[in-house]
Structure formats: C-alpha cells, structure tokens
Amino acid sequence: MSSMSRRHLIIAATGITISPRLVFAQAAASAPSAPFKVDPLTYAASALEPHIDGKTMEIHRDRHHQAYVTNLNNFAKDNPSIADKPIAEVLGNLAAIPDAIRTGVRNNLGAHANHSMFWQIMGPNGGNAHGDVLAAIDRDLGGIEKLQTDFNAAGGRVFGSGWVFVTVSKEGELAIETRPNQDHPMMDGKRALLGNDVWEHAYYLNYQNRRADYLKAWWNTVNWRAIDERYAAAKAGTLVI
C-alpha cells in the first residue's frame, strides 16, 4: 500500500483534515515528480568567452538541455524505473525500455548524459593535460597535438548533429569516437572521458557555419582538472556520467 493511500485511511479513521498543500508535499516527497535536473554551472555562463559566448551557453543549457530534462521527467511519470537506475544501466540496456518511449529515452537521456558531462569538463583557467591523463594521451592518441587534430577532424566529419568523444576503458585506454544525434558511448557499455557537442546549437550564434573554428577554439575551454578526476573515476569504475 502506498504512503498516500495509508494516509488517506488514517485521515478517514481519525476524521482529521489536512490541507491539500500538505498532501501534495507528502506525495512529492515519496515520489519525486521531476527526478531529472540540470545541475548548476560551477562557473559563469560568460566565463568561457571569447571561445564560447555567454548567450550561447545560456540558450544551450537553459533551453536545450532543460528541454531534454523536461521530456525525461514526463517519461518518468509513467516509467519511474528510468530514473531509479544509474544512467549507464538504462542507456546500456535500451532494449528493456518499453517500445513507446524507447526512442525518446535514447534521445533525451543520451542528451542529458552528454550535456551534464559537457558542462562539467569545461571551465575558465582549465590548465593543461598532465600526469596520468597526458601519459595515456601520449600512449594511445599520439600526444596532445595529434589528439586535438584527430578529434577536430572527427568532429568535422560528423554529418548533421552529433558528438565527438574521447572514450576511456576501465584499463584507462583512450580512443576517439563519434556518435550521431544524442547517442552516448554508454549505449555500447563504454564511458566518455570528454566530448564536444557539434550540434549547430552549440556554436551557431558566434561561429555560424564555421564548425572547424569552434572545434579548434573549444580546446581553450577544457578543464583538465575535471578530466583528471574523470580519468581516475573511469579506472576505478565509479564514473557516473
């Protein structure tokens, strides 16, 4: 029996009346109506200028990412299990999602994972690659310059909308991979160390059709301290998004 129906019985038995507002508060506490949310930015929207302008950041996060999250919360009303399990588990087993919402969950949960990662790996004064991450980049991707050249080329080849990633295995091996639309490496049981959004909404206000210029400038926004943490978490098996 749910806590709501128990409460109704108690109320009926005692004759006590409680305000609708209290009932609503209890219902909200026992079953969150909006389990997905856009996390707060840890830096100002304008902090990445001139590489990414504040207006683009605001529209991208407050409208595009928020719209994906709103869609997810609507799916979760009738399918709470999509919010109860780790994102990697849901995205890693989309076949288990009911037919009617599978494509919607793929697109919107993929988008939520992609964007949550994206805001986290950027920031002002992000420093440079060093330590274990740099060693892995040297070993697997031919060094930082070759990584950037190859990553930008791969991002440039994405036809239409999609993402370019550096994926990381549990052993710490790195690879450059792309995905269409809002697909995420977690759909293949992999993890993203970092990734860049090459949907036009990520750059169009400032760069118009010049995706190559955006891809090149984007490296100035990367927060290598966050990448260090993600790399360690990936090897420990604790990287959530």
Stretch that binds Mn ion, among 36-44, 76-84, 152-160, 189-197 (CB under 5 A): 189-197
- Sign of the torsion angle spanned by Cα atoms 208, 211, 217, 221: positive
Please state the closest distance from residue 119 (CB atom) to Mn ion, in A. 10
Please state the closest distance from residue 121 (CB atom) to Mn ion, in A. 14
The number of residues that bind Mn ion (CB under 5 A) is: 2
For the window 199-228, what string marks contact with Mn ion as x by the rule CB under 5 A?
Answer: x-----------------------------
| Closest-CA residue to 127 (of 230, 233, 228) | 228
Stretch that binds Mn ion, among 119-127, 153-161, 198-206, 233-241 (CB under 5 A): 198-206
Q: Which of 158, 186, 197, 224 binds Mn ion (CB under 5 A)?
A: 197
Please state the closest distance from residue 160 (CB atom) to Mn ion, in A. 13
Mind spelling out the 3-state secondary structure of the chain? Answer: CCHHHHHHHHHHHHCCCCCHHHHHHHHHHHCCCCCCCCCCCCCCHHHHCCCCCHHHHHHHHHHHHHHHHHHHHHHHHHCCHHHHCCHHHHHCCHHHCCHHHHHHHHHHHHHHHHHHHHHHCECCCCCCCCHHHHHHHHHHHCCHHHHHHHHHHHHHHCCCCEEEEEEECCCCCEEEEEEECCCCHHHHCCEEEEEEECCHHHCHHHHCCCHHHHHHHHHHHECHHHHHHHHHHHHHCCCCC
Of 15 and 160, which CB lies nearer to Mn ion in the complex structure?
160
Stretch that binds Mn ion, among 66-74, 80-88, 161-169, 190-198 (CB under 5 A): 190-198
Name the residue number minimizing CB distance to Mn ion.
Answer: 197
Of 147 and 202, which CB lies nearer to Mn ion in the complex structure?
202
Please state the closest distance from residue 190 (CB atom) to Mn ion, in A. 20
Residues facing residue 162 across a β-bridge: 180
Stretch that binds Mn ion, among 10-18, 72-80, 93-101, 191-199 (CB under 5 A): 191-199
Q: Does 183 bind Mn ion (CB under 5 A)?
A: no
Please state the closest distance from residue 7 (CB atom) to Mn ion, in A. 42
Please state the closest distance from residue 5 (CB atom) to Mn ion, in A. 42
Task: Report the interface residues with Mn ion, using CB under 5 A.
Answer: 197, 199
